[in-house]
Amino acid sequence: MRVLVTGATGFIGHNIVRDLLKRGEQVKAFVHTPTKIKERLGNPRPMLDIVIGDIINPDTVNNLVKDVDAIIHLAAVPLEKSKQTYEQVNLQGTVSLVNAAVKSGVKRLIHCSQNSAKPPKFFAVHPQQRQDQRPRLNPPAPLNKNPPPLVLGPTNPFFTTLHP
C-alpha cells in the first residue's frame, strides 16, 4: 500500500512514517519546510518518497494525492506566527486535500486534527453565521472528528524537559 503522510516531520508524523516503513509500506512524506527532514526522516530511500510543498497550494495538493491508496493527514499550523493561518492550513488545506482525495479515488483518509484547532479561530464572522460559512464536504464515507489531547513522547521537547 502507498500511504501519503502530511505533516511528516511533525512529532506525530515522523513517528507514523517510521512505523509505516517498518511495516513495509511505501510512504510519500509531505513536508512544508525541509529543515527537519534529515533529523526526523533520514535520507530518501526506496520505500520513502519525500515531497516538499505547501498544503494551501491546490495544484500541489492535486498532484500529491495521485497514486496513493491512503492518506494520514497531520499537516497543521499549531500557532499562527507567520503568514500561514489556522484558516488557510488547518481548514482550507484540509478541505482541498479531502476534495482532491475524493476526486482521485483515495480509499481511506485519516485526519488527526490539531488539538488547538477550535472552530471559533477558523471563522472571523459573527457566531450566528459560522454554521453557514463552513465548507460543505460530501465525502463518500462517514467522517469522525477526534482531535488529540496533549501528545507526549521521547522526542517531544516538552516530554524531554520533564524527563531528562
Tell me the three state secondary structure of residue 18: helix
Q: CATH number of the domain that 158 lies in?
A: 3.40.50.720
The per-residue pLDDT for range 67-85, each reduced to its tens digit, is 999 999 999 887 676 776 7
Among 45-54, 55-64, 74-83, 122-131, whose mean pLDDT is lowest? 122-131
Q: What is the rounded CA–CA span in Å between residue 97 and residue 109? A: 9
What pLDDT score was predicted for residue 153?
Answer: 66
How far, CA to CA in Å, does 100 sit from each of 94, 104, 139, 150?
10, 6, 11, 30
Q: How far apart are CA 74 and CA 98, in angstroms?
A: 13
**Domain region containing 49:** 2-162
Task: Tell me how many domains the chain contains.
Answer: 1
Does residue 163 carry a pLDDT above 60? no
Output 16 or 119, whichever has higher pLDDT.
16
Residue pLDDT, tens place only, 143-154: 555 566 666 666
pLDDT tier, 96 (very low <50, low <70, confident <90, very high otherwise):
very high
pLDDT of amino acid 5: 97
123 has pLDDT over 60: no
Question: Phi and psi for 156 in degrees, rounded to 5?
Answer: -85, 125
